Amino acid sequence: METGVRAMVVALSVGPARVERFALPNGLEVQLAPIPGSPTASVWVWYRVGSKNEWPGVTGASHWVEHMLFQGSPRYRKGEMDRAIVEVGGSLNAFTDNDFTAYFSTVPREHLGIPLDIESDRMTRATIAPVEVERERTVIRSEREGNENWPEFRVDEELYALAFQRHPYRWDPLGYPEDILALTPKDLQSYYRRYYGTRNAVLVVAGGFEAGALARDVRRRFSPLPATGEDPKVRVVEPPQRGPRESTLTGPGTTPFLEVGWRAPAVSDSHAAAALLVDAVLGGESRLFATGSMWGRRTEHPSARLYRRLVDEGLAVRASSEWRPRLHPGLFVVHAQAARGIALPRLERALLTEVERLARDGPTEAELAEARIKLRQGAQLAYEGASRCGFRLGYFSMLGSDGFEGALLRAALRADTRAVRRSARELFREENRTLVRYEPSGASLDA
Amino acid sequence: MTRESSDPLRVEGTRLGNGLEVFRQAPPPAARSFSATFVSAAGWACDGELGGLAALVSATGAAAAGTRDRVALAQVLDRHGAVLTHHCDPESAEVTVWGPEESLVPLLGLLADVVLAPRFEREDLERVRRQLYERQLRELSQPESRADRALLSAVFPPDHPYAKSGAGTHESVARVHRADLVRFHERHVTAAGGQLVLTARPGLATIARLASRGFRDLPAGSEPAARPVARAPRGKRPQRRRLSMPGRAQVEIRVGGASIARSDPSYAGAFLANEVLGGRALLSRLFQNVREKEGLAYHASSSLEAMRWGGYWEAQAGTGPERVDAALRLLYAEVDRIRHERIRGPELERMRESTIGELPLALETTQGAHELALDVAYHHLGETFLTAWPSELRRLSPESVRTAAAEAFPDAGTVTVLAGPIRPLSGGAGAGSTRVHAHHIHTHK
């Protein structure tokens, strides 16, 4: 270790300097994070609804409703939300996850009232007009088709479909193609009415504003909304996996790859903190606490085990791992893309051997020290900018209660080699494993 | 004592003794990080016979440098909570380090190592070579990259650097030896044509001192000669290429052609015209008409890539095979409108104010601000360019925007590419480059 580097490690503090938290009588949770000097303000509304709340026949409904919330509400006709935000130089978008749906706008701070007005209008009164639902159907089909062009999407979809036989994590938030064709405006309207509303949402605002004045403004805009929206318990429990599962997909493409998933703990599980460290040791980083962009990942981690074993030795051109924290038990996924001329069985053997070695022997003290530094330093700049701040505050509020992020990070930093080895053993059991290979069917295929 | 600017919209510059240009921009007030980029002239236009050489130099050089092998280098970055990225394009190569502001001095030293003393270790070269082989294959197999490549290779002559992807061929990459990397580095990574751009708290004088400490040994080199780049032909007839890629779900559509360089006097007008056409997310005509009004595609946009030596424009969308014709008709119609019709006052005003209003968003983070500084430095736009940009946009009249659009999106030489699950044209050539005339739809009366 280089001299002086240890001293660089900052004291552990995660999150913005100040967050005002309160709830309105109608149940809406509010978090305000003023950032002195910030030229922008970012408004995020997080709903505790995602594909976990769907069932066969209505898969993709959460995502489709997300699209429909841009298609009109009483004060903003179709297209007017986009115009209102973009005309002042702002940006807006949304995304749907298995566990939640988030809407966000970032604007120059003097225009903060616009996104607040939009969000308060569409939280309970989105129009969801049948004619717009029909128009959006082809847009959503096109979104799915664009994803299907990528073998990685197909493999990921297959992996979850194979690993989960009952739980809604079985399908992608985009939904099944058949359901995209069959869902009706009524389906979407009732889905929206059930899940959207003040009781099932968290409003996060970060950026350049005075918290007291903004709190009054938020109360004025959102307090009149009715107390609606529910977050019903997902009752489906995935039964234990009784043995390894595997599948081989073929299709267009030129480089074979494989993805292996092990049934993994939910974010509230006692093994969650160790899973962060396993991710950092094996793949080189943890997505939750990674230096870089808001939600991006780096692929080059030369000190990580998978990299050394697979990339350095010429078996793969890239190799990564990911434990994505979820509300329900999910998957710990390892991905490896074969190098030219390397057959998948060889890559597969090497990958599984490396994972088994970690499960058997655990990490070394040096590896764990390195992983702790990565987590700790990765959290350091994670809140820079109003948009990132709004994202992280809201994201962690979907996963746990106040202070959850710090608690998770502290638990990870406390975990020792024995604890991580125990968790790795529990995680990487053979009977918990699902493996999907992708064998390209040919070269460029152009005619 | 020099006054230190705290305005992220000012990009101040100076020059070191060896000729290296150094630029400094203040980070956003609430930011706690810095970003530093070294830009060299070592883009893939310098590849010569060894296609892929610049990409190999860029990636291998950023892996290990000075006294640190790649593991040691990665560990230093991790311990500072920093990220090192590299990027190579036809005209230049960049390496950037981003990290906490208190780590500026050691990380700037690390950047200097990467620039001046790359180790080019054989193991790293072999690994990067394998990754480049895979990239070559991937570019062939994905409709998006196939469409992009086909467009540029139809727009520009084969020897033009913009026509290439920079990844070379399997044969050219296989022929590269370590000595080639060293030679390429010695020749092209020099102070002449190089720039160091920092978005950091210390003032320009301090930055220049720090830069001098790290980069004073950078050879002066000789100013790169004007490159003998063949001009893209502008008078060609329209072309259409259909790349049948069975098994894919969606067709990627590209319509584009050669365009202006960044230094062209009509750039501001052309920039605004592109925003109206498809550059401005959500507000643009392509997004509104192709997606919002007709529901034909998930993505529909346009871009204007104005670089130092020239540029190109493209309008694009991705959609299912049964909707390709309808989407393509709309793309043609909108491109035609932007070339020939004056943008009406309210629409132009909306787009202009949106563009101007967006500046604060770029200043949310150090990385966002740094992107602006890089653009100002690379194109030598001047210290106050970002401050003056709103006024420049406000001075544009509808007629000047239309004239600029006609120049930047020329009718002649327009290329259309379809890549995805489409039938090849009957009797098409085996190489997949059947050419037919594009049918442009004129919607204006």
Q: Does B174 touch chain A (CB under 8 A)?
A: no
Which pTM was predicted? 0.92
> pLDDT band for position B159 (50/70/90)?
confident
Mean pLDDT score across all residues of chain B? 90
B238 DSSP 8-state letter: P
Instruction: Determine whether the interchain pair A340/B130 forms a contact, defined as Cβ–Cβ distance below 8 Å.
Output: yes
pLDDT for res B3: 53
**Does position A412 have pLDDT exceeding 90, yes or no?**
yes
pLDDT at B307: 95
Q: Spell out which residues of chain A touch residue B318, defining contact as CB-CB under 8 Å.
A: 142, 145-146, 149
Q: Do A447 and B31 touch (CB under 8 A)?
A: no
Write the pLDDT tens digit of every residue in A301-319. 999 999 999 999 999 999 9
**A196, A270, A445, B87 from B135: Cα distances, Å:** 43, 40, 17, 14
* pLDDT score of B178: 98
List chain A residues with CB under 8 Å of B99. Answer: 291, 381
- Looking at residue B266, its pLDDT comes to 96
Chain centre to alpha carbon of residue A401:
17
Q: How large is the average pLDDT for residues A152-176?
A: 97
Q: Give domain limits for chain A.
A: 17-222, 245-440
Q: pLDDT above 70 covers what percent of chain A?
A: 94
Return the residue of A nearest to B101 by Cα. A381
Indicate if A245-440 has the same CATH topology as A17-222. Answer: yes
Model pLDDT, residue B225: 59
In this complex, is the C-beta atom of B105 within 8 Å of any C-beta atom belonging to chain A?
Answer: no
- Determine the distance in angstroms separating the CA of B152 from the nearest CA of chain A, rounded to an integer: 17
pLDDT higher than 80, residue B235 = no
| Fold of the domain built from segment(s) A17-222 | Cytochrome Bc1 Complex; Chain A, domain 1 (3.30.830)
Asked whether the beta carbons of residue A109 and residue B360 sit closer than 8 angstroms, the reply is yes
Q: What is the mean pLDDT of residues A11-30?
A: 88
pLDDT of A288 > 90? The answer is no
The whole-number average pLDDT for the span A83-101 is: 96
Residue A290 has a pLDDT of 76
pLDDT tens, residue by residue, A236-266: 999 999 999 999 999 988 889 999 999 999 9
Q: Average pLDDT for residues B13-27, to the nearest whole number?
A: 96
For every residue of B58-119, DSSP letters joined together read HHHHTT-BTTB-HHHHHHHHHHHT-EEEEEE-SS-EEEEEEEEGGGHHHHHHHHHHHHH-B-
ipTM for this prediction: 0.91
Contact criterion met (CB below 8 Å) for B415 and B154: yes
* Predicted pLDDT of residue A254: 82
Is A89–B360 a contact, with Cβ atoms under 8 angstroms apart? yes
The predicted pLDDT at position A319 comes to 96
Query: Measured between CA atoms, how close is B204 to chain A, in angstroms?
Result: 22
pLDDT at B438: 31
Residue B157 confidence (pLDDT) above 70: yes
Asked whether the beta carbons of residue B357 and residue A89 sit closer than 8 angstroms, the reply is yes
Using a CB-CB distance cutoff of 8 angstroms, which residues of chain A are in contact with residue B288?
A: 79
When pLDDT is cut at 50, 70 and 90, the band that residue A289 belongs to is: confident
* Number of Cβ within a 10 Å radius of residue B297: 32
Structure tokens at A247: 């599948």
Statement: residue A273 has pLDDT above 70: yes
Let me know: does B413 contact B238? Beta carbons within 8 Å. yes
Residue A63 has pLDDT above 90, yes or no: yes
pLDDT per residue as tens digits for the range B332-353: 999 999 999 999 999 999 999 9
Whole-number Å distance between alpha carbons of B409 and A95: 34
Over residues B285-290, mean pLDDT: 96
What is the per-residue pLDDT for B347?
94
Mark residue A292 as left, alpha or beta (left: phi above 0; alpha: psi -120 to 50; beta: remaining).
left
Start-to-end C-alpha separation, chain B: 64
Name which of B123, B364, B419 is nearest A385 (Cβ-Cβ): B364
Q: Give the nearest chain A residue to B358 (CA atoms).
A: A89
| Cross-strand pairs, A245 | A434
Best residue in A93, A142, A148, A445 for a mutation probing chain B (most B CBs within 10 Å): A142
Query: Any bridge partners for residue A323, and if so which?
Result: A332
Q: Which residue in the block uniquely carries the two structure tokens 């128009």?
A: A135
A412 touches B at CB < 8 Å: no
Among residues of chain B, what percentage have pLDDT more than 90?
A: 84
Indicate yes or no: CB of B81 within 8 angstroms of CB of A291.
yes
> In this model, does residue B434 exceed pLDDT 50?
no
Domains of chain B (ranges; CATH) run 11-215 (3.30.830.10), 239-420 (3.30.830.10)
pLDDT at B232: 64
- Percent of chain A beyond pLDDT 90? 84
Mean pLDDT of A272-287: 93
- Structure confidence at residue B106 (pLDDT): 97
Which of these, A308, A47, A345, lies nearest to A191 by C-alpha position?
A47
- B364/A106 CB distance under 8 A: yes
In the prediction, which pLDDT does B231 show?
Answer: 64
pLDDT at residue A13, rounded to an integer = 67
pLDDT(B168) > 60 = yes
The top-level CATH class assigned to A245-440 is: alpha beta
- State the angle between helix axes of A130-148 and A151-163 in degrees (0 to 180), rounded to the nearest 10: 100
Determine the 3-state secondary structure of A60 from DSSP.
coil
Report the pLDDT averaged over residues B432-436.
Answer: 30
CB A381 within 8 A of CB B81: yes
Q: Determine the average pLDDT of the residues in B285-298.
A: 94
